[in-house]
Every structure is written in structure tokens, then in C-alpha cells.
A = this chain, B = another copy of it.
């Protein structure tokens, strides 16, 4: 009964089926008909012309985006708790050629205009200091908060004013869209986002994420970098097919809603234990060691986030009966 993370959830049957249907000879790399239809499919979803690259991991999507938005001698403002800072083993530095991550504060791992300004304002504009070139925010955040469209737009305006690029790490973009209920376009390009790492793997995919460039001109360089990074699989159709299966009839959004609903069930049980509002599929609960042990004894697996704090993550395939059991167990603590 795993609530450890959504990153190892099962693959949705429709995604798996798509692999079987793609199992026929076609052109290599991204020349096949599945890959070639990605731009159109995502452009339809986002209601604007986008360029889309499949990549096998979210780290790859994030770092190709950062490489497109920040030169080696620049900086990327992100939250102190951002995945790109803490969980990607230095991949941003590798892909950008040594750019510096500049760490901002903000509640719930959310960037705020003030937090960004505090970082940027402390940097004298001379050749001795690395200058910010981009901002990266995570939506939903590492603490399960979802940005409102207006929040993104405010940051987008700040970026535009400074000439910075804006990247969104959307490993849990589906959860954020599901929670806020707004159109994907409003959370992204209409709010000033230049590049989106649109996550599918945590949401029922197997091995394909979508790197979406709202300025298609950025994609040409990223295509070269994708190859140069060893990320251009020769049988790309098996990645593209996953993404297309996810877009079909908005499966991605249904799955995001399903995961969120399970988290909401748990949140109701957790009540005052919640450290952060539950706006996606992650819960952070206050729990004593004895309480944690009690839950584990009942067979629930989760992450010890910090002393006295545990993290639970639901997924599209979290069994509803098990979720109900867990909610009950939490309520009884």
C-alpha cells in the first residue's frame, strides 16, 4: 500500500496499449508519424502553436528548457526547495554549461514576486556577479500547492520586464490544472511561460515527458541538444505514442483529477495535521514517530519528510478502498 511517491505508479492500460499499436516499422528518431503529430496535438490543447519534444525524464525536460533559456554564465532563479536544485544531481548545471541556481524563499515552495525580487535585487549588475537570466517555478510545487493563473502571470510579467525566460516544471502539471480548473493555456503561455515540462510519467505514463516550447524558435536548438545529450531514442514512436494516448479524450486530466480526489479524501481525514494546503496529490502531515510507526504497521508506506513530518502521495491508480482505509487510519491516530 504505497503512498511513497507517484513516480513509480503503474502505467495506464491505454498507454500500454498504445505501445503495442506502435509496434510496427516506421521512421527512426522523431521522424515517425506519432512524433510528427505531437506539435499539432499539443498546439490544439494549448490553443496556440507550440513545438514539442518528447524526452524520457522530467529532469531532461527541465534541463533542456533551462539550457534554452539561460546561458552558461547566467543564473536561474528558483525556489530553495525546487526539484531542479535538490533532486536532479546537478543536471541544470550540466545542461546549461555551469549556470548558477539562485535560491528564493516562499511558503510551500512557491515563488513569489517578492521572493524573486529579494534574490535579484541583491545582485549588482556588473561582470563579477552572475546575472539572472531565467526563472523556474514548479507547478504543482514540491509541497503540493498549485499556482493560480494570476500568480503565474504576475511572475511572467516580472520576467518580461527583466528580459528573463520563464520555465515551468510541470511534473505534476495535470494535478495543478485539475485543482485550479483553469485552461492549460491560462496557466502557461498566456501567463508568460516560455517552456513547460509537461509531466506524464507520474500520471500514468511509462517513459515519456513532453517539453513544450511556446516559442517554437527555441525548439530548434533544443532538438540539437536533445540528441547531444543522448536523449533521442531511435524508436521515438514508443514515446510519442504514450503522449498521444494521454492527450486522447483528456486522459491526462482525468488521471490528475483521480489522484487529486484521493488526496482530498486523505486531507479531510488529516485535518489539523496538514502542514500545507492540499492543492494537488501530495500531503504533508505532522506525525509523531509513534504515529508514523502505527501507520506503517497497518501496511502503509510513505516518506519521512522531516522530523515529525511525513509525506503521502496519491496516484491515478491509488486503490480507493486502500485510500479509505488510510484515511480511516489517519483519522484514528
Contacts and interface: CB of A to CB of B under 8 A. Distances in A.
A232 interface: yes
Most buried by B among A19, A63, A202: A19
Most buried by B among A8, A20, A87: A8
A33 B300 CA distance: 20
Interface residues of A, number: 73
A232 B93 contact: no
Contacts of A72: 72, 90, 93-94, 97, 228
B99 A232 contact: no
Contacts of A239: 207
A89 B234 contact: no
Most buried by B among A73, A221, A223: A73
Contacts of A184: none
Interface in A85-144: 86-91, 93-101, 127-131
Interface secondary structure of A, over-half rule: loop
Contacts of A9: 25
B228 A73 contact: yes
A23 B14 CA distance: 12
A75 to B, nearest CB: 8
A264 interface: no
B25 A7 contact: no
Copies of this chain assembled into the complex: 4
B63 A90 contact: no
A72 B222 CA distance: 12
A229 B230 contact: yes
A239 B239 CA distance: 13
Contacts of A226: 127
A29 B238 CA distance: 19
A127 B89 contact: yes
11 contacts: A7-B235, A8-B25, A19-B19, A56-B56, A60-B230, A73-B90, A73-B224, A89-B224, A93-B93, A94-B228, A229-B230
A130 B90 contact: yes
Given A20-B16, A98-B97, A235-B11, A230 B127 contact: no
